[in-house]
């Protein structure tokens, strides 16, 4: 029998298919109606317990949903192929019900479905990825109310606007803090005046004796005496006034501090409640994962289960929206680069199905930790090292000295990939770089640990809410700036004599490692003042970190650390270099919030902080800038051939064409080329054979080859890898920018 939870799910799907069938009939979409009818028959038999849904049956039902989506997306009158075959497969799933003997499986009360014998694809190749194992809610979500409580529906945009207005109250909170601090400062100044007044008051008796002795003297002394009396009277009045002012300011300060504490409490509570309205469980982000995992596994011939723990943890909706793409990429990366194929896993003593574990946990009151772990092959750090050297991020000497654990940071560098071939899934070295950039934009951090044969673990730490954060206020070049405290490793004072020069750039040794030193005002393009010449003189320094990079910045002074309300710069200043946003102080002063990622890049460019390999590569690129790269296009279709030729020539490349593989191989012998773009299916010699012959030729073996083809199956891609292709681009998802980017990377 079906479990209660499984029965509810089947009933829900059954009703949805039934409603869709009726809607299709109403608008005369007969093909959609036929598929819905076949799917409804399978689900009806399952509800009655006559059949058990196997992996193949579930996969076929999902293909039915995909086919309906294709039909609805197609233009009127356009025929979508494969409809009749799909309906036949759905029919074969339930045909056993009518033909089976009633005594068959009597103890079970059902017949397990199997794939049709005519299918050429083994069952293990078509198993879908498991649905995320997120815990079923045992109680209503805090933000969900039962009908008896009186629920209302509001647009999310209205709630966003409400939260923004509540966040504006933080400005009033900061202003209250400023006024309270000003009153404390005013009372301190008054205390100094009061102290001086007491000193003068102590001299009053002596002045009075002097005044009495002057009563019998000359007319001039009489005038002096009158002035002295007036001074004594004013001193007495001032003493009384100071005492009165001191009492009033003391009472006002106490009242202000009480009001400040009350306002702080009210604003904090209101903001916390407002944030909860826009807090969503992490599980709301997981909806696209099961299908994505199933599709990628099917395409690559792999099997995977996804387990989720902590899906009930709530995070700011705005952060979840920004986190969707990085999460999908990391899970896709675990399948594509991490998990082995079933046969290889069995040979290694592992379970056929790979495991991906997604764990979410609140680690602090304001932070959440997201961990993605797989039990695949792990990251080959030796390949990472070779890729980093090839990309110019390391030279050979630096690579030989680098510890193995330090190599993991290079997988987040743009342009570094260990994939043997560029495809639509991987190989461009951009995905993890984008993940790090997005996470850091959200004020978080990402790291990775790996073990060869034991899998990899990616760890992201993010704020629960993005409205406020802790900021360190610094002054440099006469201007005030905010550095996110999460990006501040330490603050210290540095002696001028401790500054050393390493590889033509100023550095300082911290914890036994050389750290580049830069001036914050110079990196921001502000006027700079000369540094002290005395070796014993000291400077305040802030060590800023972003990912695996850290730089020490000299500044004028560090002021304080406090909560900061983020103010966006607006569309006009969306990409202002070095500035991420702004905040407003209680005094009304606007202070820029620094973009640490940009700032570190600016400091590196100013100090010439690149490795010798990068410098040599840049010089080589400059020398070759005027040389036009030569590309050979091998394509039997004149339409595709001219399309590719026009695209590449418009990008500035010199293009030669060949009509098939044999013609292309002959052309390669007549002139030097920098790259080959080839079709696969061609007469006389196809693209696979052409690629193999290029790799076997001693002169041409290093020549990059891009295969552009309509053959998109896993087996076709594997043949491309085996032949030695540098990139494999599918024509059905062809994109001009994708082609040009791939060409640029390879040459």
pLDDT reported for residue 634: 93
Measured on CA atoms in the order 502, 505, 508, 513, is the torsion positive or negative? negative
Query: Mean per-residue pLDDT for 585-596?
Result: 80
| pLDDT confidence of residue 372 | 93
Tracing tokens 């011939």 back to the chain, one arrives at: 301
* pLDDT of residue 669 exceeding 70: yes
Write the CB contacts of 729 (distance below 8 Å, at least 6 apart in sequence): 422, 423, 424, 706, 707, 708, 709, 738, 739, 742
> pLDDT tens, 282-331?
888 888 888 888 888 888 888 999 999 998 888 888 888 888 888 988 88
Q: Between 25 and 659, where is the model more confident?
A: 659
Mean pLDDT of the 69-90 span: 77
What was the pLDDT predicted at 656?
92
Q: Rounded mean pLDDT of 455-481?
A: 84
Rounded to 10 degrees, what is the CA torsion of 163, 167, 168, 171? 170
Residue 419 has what pLDDT? 62
Q: For the beta carbon of residue 198, count every other beta carbon within 10 angstroms.
A: 11
Percentage of residues of the chain with pLDDT beyond 70: 75
- Cβ neighbours of residue 64 closer than 8 Å, sequence gap 6 or more: 35, 38, 39, 86, 90
pLDDT at 113: 41
Buried b / exposed e along 652-671 (16+ C-beta atoms within 10 A): ebebbbbbbbbbbbebbeee
Cβ-contact 698, 679 below 8 angstroms: no
Amino acid 414: pLDDT: 62
Q: Which of 170, 154, 38 is nearest to 91 (CA)?
A: 38
pLDDT of 624 higher than 60? no
d(CA 386, CA 565) in angstroms, rounded, equals 44
- Measure the CA–CA gap between 71 and 574, rounded to whole angstroms: 40
Residue ranges of alpha helices (H) inside 104-218 are: 156-202, 204-213
Tell me what pLDDT residue 426 has.
Answer: 55
């Amino acid at each position: 029998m079906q479990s209660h939870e499984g029965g509810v799910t089947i009933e829900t799907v059954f009703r949805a298919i039934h409603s869709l069938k009726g809607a299709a009939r109403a608008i005369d979409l007969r093909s959609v109606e036929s598929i819905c009818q076949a799917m409804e028959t399978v689900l009806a038999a399952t509800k009655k317990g006559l059949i058990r849904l196997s992996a193949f049956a579930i996969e076929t039902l999902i293909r039915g949903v995909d086919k309906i989506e294709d039909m609805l997306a197609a233009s009127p009158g356009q025929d979508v192929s494969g409809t009749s075959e799909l309906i036949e497969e759905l029919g074969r799933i339930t045909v056993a019900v009518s033909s089976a003997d009633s005594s068959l499986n009597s103890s079970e009360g059902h017949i397990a479905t199997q794939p049709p014998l005519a299918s050429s694809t083994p069952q293990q190749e078509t198993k879908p990825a498991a649905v995320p194992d997120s815990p079923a809610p045992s109680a209503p979500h805090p933000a969900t109310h039962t009908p008896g409580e009186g629920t209302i529906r509001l647009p999310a945009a209205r709630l966003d606007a409400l939260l923004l207005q509540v966040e504006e109250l933080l400005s009033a909170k900061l202003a209250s803090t400023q006024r309270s601090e000003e009153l404390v400062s005013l009372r301190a100044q008054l205390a100094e005046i009061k102290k001086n007044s007491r000193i003068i008051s102590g001299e009053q008796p002596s002045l009075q004796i002097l005044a009495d002795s002057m009563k019998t003297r000359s007319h001039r002394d009489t005038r002096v005496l009158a002035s002295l009396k007036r001074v004594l009277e004013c001193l007495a009045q001032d003493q009384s006034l100071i005492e009165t002012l001191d009492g009033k300011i003391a009472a006002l300060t106490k009242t202000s501090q009480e009001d400040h504490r009350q306002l702080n409490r009210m604003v904090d509570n209101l903001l916390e409640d407002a944030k909860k309205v826009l807090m969503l469980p992490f599980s709301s982000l997981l909806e696209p994962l099961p299908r994505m995992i199933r599709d990628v596994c099917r395409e690559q011939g792999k099997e995977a289960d996804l387990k989720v723990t902590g899906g009930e943890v709530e995070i700011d909706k705005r952060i979840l929206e920004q986190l969707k793409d990085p999460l999908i990429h990391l899970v896709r990366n675990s399948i594509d680069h991490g998990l082995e194929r079933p046969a290889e896993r069995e040979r290694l003593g592992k379970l056929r199905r790979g495991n991906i574990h997604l764990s979410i946990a609140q680690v602090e009151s304001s932070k959440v930790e997201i961990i993605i772990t797989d039990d695949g092959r792990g990251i080959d750090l030796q390949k990472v090292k070779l890729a980093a050297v090839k990309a110019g991020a390391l030279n050979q000497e630096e690579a030989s000295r680098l510890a193995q654990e330090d190599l993991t940071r290079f997988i987040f560098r743009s342009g570094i990939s260990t994939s043997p071939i560029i495809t639509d899934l991987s190989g461009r070295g951009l995905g993890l770089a984008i993940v790090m950039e997005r996470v850091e934009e959200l004020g978080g951090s990402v790291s990775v640990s790996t073990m060869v044969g034991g899998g990899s673990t990616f760890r992201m730490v993010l704020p629960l809410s993005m409205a406020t954060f802790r900021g360190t206020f610094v002054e440099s070049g006469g201007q005030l700036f905010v550095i996110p405290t999460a990006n501040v490793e330490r603050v210290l004072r540095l002696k001028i004599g401790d500054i050393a020069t390493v590889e033509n750039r100023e550095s300082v040794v911290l914890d036994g490692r050389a750290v580049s030193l830069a001036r914050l005002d110079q990196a921001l393009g502000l006027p700079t003042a000369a540094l002290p010449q005395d070796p014993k003189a000291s400077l305040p320094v802030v060590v800023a970190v972003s990912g695996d990079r850290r730089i020490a910045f000299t500044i004028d002074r560090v002021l304080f650390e406090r909560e900061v309300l983020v103010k966006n710069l607006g569309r006009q200043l969306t990409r202002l270099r070095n500035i991420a946003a702004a905040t407003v102080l209680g005094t009304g002063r606007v202070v820029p919030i620094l973009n640490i990622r940009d700032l570190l890049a600016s400091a590196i460019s100013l100090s010439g902080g690149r490795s010798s390999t990068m410098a040599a590569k840049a010089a080589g690129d400059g020398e070759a800038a005027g040389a036009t790269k030569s590309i050979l296009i091998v394509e039997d279709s004149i339409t595709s051939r001219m399309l590719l030729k026009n695209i590449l020539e418009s990008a500035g490349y010199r293009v030669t064409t060949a009509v098939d593989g044999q013609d292309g191989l002959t052309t390669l012998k007549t002139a030097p080329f920098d790259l080959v773009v080839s079709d696969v299916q061609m007469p006389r010699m196809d693209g696979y054979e052409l690629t193999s012959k290029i790799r076997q030729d001693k002169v041409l073996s290093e020549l990059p080859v891009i295969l552009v083809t309509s053959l998109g199956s896993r087996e076709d891609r594997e043949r491309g890898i085996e032949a030695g292709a540098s990139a494999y681009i599918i024509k059905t998802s062809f994109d001009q920018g994708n082609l040009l980017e791939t060409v640029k990377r390879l040459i």
